[in-house]
Amino acid sequence: MICKELNRSKCKTYLVGCADTRQALLIDPLVENIDRYLALLAYKNLELVAVLDTHTHADHSTAVITLGDLTDADIVMHRKAPSPRTTRHVDDGDDIKIGNISLQTLYTPGHTPDSISLYGGGRVFTGDVLLIGGTGRADFAGGDAGDQYDSITQKLFTLPDETIVLPAHDYRGNTESTIAAEKQTNPRIAGRSREQYIDLMNSLEFPLPQKIQEVLQPNQTAIDDDKMQFPTLTQLNDVRQLAPQRVRIEIDAGNPVLLDVREPEEYTGELGHIPGSILIPLKELPARAEQELDPHRDQPIIAICRAGVRSTTAAAILIALGFHNVSNLKGGMVEWNDQGLAVERGES
């Protein structure tokens, strides 16, 4: 296995390659370093076959979409990732093969709902779930400290002690650690119960990442348009969230407008769509909403997307436009499918 960290900064990008086939994977690439990555791949005579984000990033712009476009590499993320441009969704236990190299996907939520780690070749790439001498924050973007504790203690800490830990961030100049070292000395989690860890994480006051809206929303939506006015975090947090079973009850009891804001290929794709839903892609919503949805101002509107993230943005946009009875399908079509609720596939 070829393994090299490429950024030499607090944000880590890892190159994983197969020396035999010259195929390569980039993990958590930064958009500002695309030229560096492509030059190194050419210099090393490596073919980029996949790019992967361990989670939806809030502190830097992802390069996976641009690299996928430039190289035809697969764009890989967890199945709960909100971005519409992911070309391969993975789940716990799935193998990612790069030539003769195989990395096992470990679903490790907590920092975000779509966080994964990758294990193979005596290494584990932990994203922001487990850091060297620390753990990633769990206080926004769908984070959950309890899930994070479970991911670390029940998944990562069950790996062999000698496994090398390679996180997506480090702020103190560390380059690697081991599972044994983190079990014994990580001050966030070593010796703490689940309840103690949750209390600790809830007591910490983290500043928000700089330019979070300029970074997070394009990473979530794959919309990078200066004319698109994204809602603020406060507006997003104010959106009413409805669980799938609650939405089903609303559908059975009345006549809500089911607004699907995914891309057309998603609407007719593997997850299907809820019968009776209408499609207005998120990037088109501000221009189309008042004309096409104005007749429905007196009806409840439920926004829908893949994982419930883009649709939360859509709901906040509608509320700002004066549509007051707007909710969001929590967990999106991923959760709707997981609960076995009715879908249509193909054209409606």
Same domain membership, residue 181 and residue 102: yes
80: left (phi over 0), alpha (psi -120 to 50) or beta: alpha
Same domain membership, residue 235 and residue 111: no
Structural domain boundaries enclosing 248: 225-338
Q: In this structure, which long-range contacts are made by residues 99-103, counting pairs with CB atoms below 8 Å and at least 24 apart in sequence?
A: 99/17, 99/18, 99/20, 99/21, 99/22, 99/23, 100/18, 100/20, 100/21, 101/1, 101/16, 101/17, 101/18, 103/16, 103/25
Same domain membership, residue 133 and residue 252: no
Same domain membership, residue 163 and residue 25: yes
For residue 154, tell me if it sits in a domain. yes
User: What DSSP state is assigned to residue 329?
Assistant: E
Which helix H or strand E contains 199, and what residues bound it? helix 194-203
* 348, pLDDT greater than 70: no
Same domain membership, residue 140 and residue 56: yes
Tens of pLDDT along 242-289? 999 999 999 999 889 999 999 999 999 999 999 999 999 999 999 999
Same domain membership, residue 303 and residue 229: yes
Same domain membership, residue 298 and residue 248: yes
Can you tell me the distance from the alpha carbon of 233 to that of 219, in angstroms, rounded to the nearest whole number? 15
Same domain membership, residue 123 and residue 29: yes
User: What DSSP state is assigned to residue 62?
Assistant: B
* DSSP H helices in 222-309: 233-237, 244-253, 264-267, 285-293
For residue 45, tell me if it sits in a domain. yes
How many domains does one find in the chain?
A: 2
332: CATH = 3.40.250.10
For residue 321, tell me if it sits in a domain. yes
Same domain membership, residue 233 and residue 189: no
Residue 298 pLDDT: 86
Tens of pLDDT along 301-339? 999 999 999 999 999 999 999 998 999 999 999 999 999
Residue 330 pLDDT: 97
Same domain membership, residue 199 and residue 229: no
Residue 248 pLDDT: 96
Q: What pTM value is reported for the model? A: 0.94
* 86, pLDDT greater than 60: yes
Question: Structure tokens of 151?
Answer: 């991911």
Same domain membership, residue 11 and residue 59: yes
92: CATH = 3.60.15.10
Tell me the mean pLDDT in the region 190-207: 95
Q: How confident is the model at residue 180 (pLDDT cuts 50, 70, 90)?
A: very high
* Bridge partners for 165 per DSSP: 124, 177
Examine the fold and report which residue of 169, 203, 237 is the final residue of a domain before the chain moves on. Answer: 203
Same domain membership, residue 145 and residue 237: no
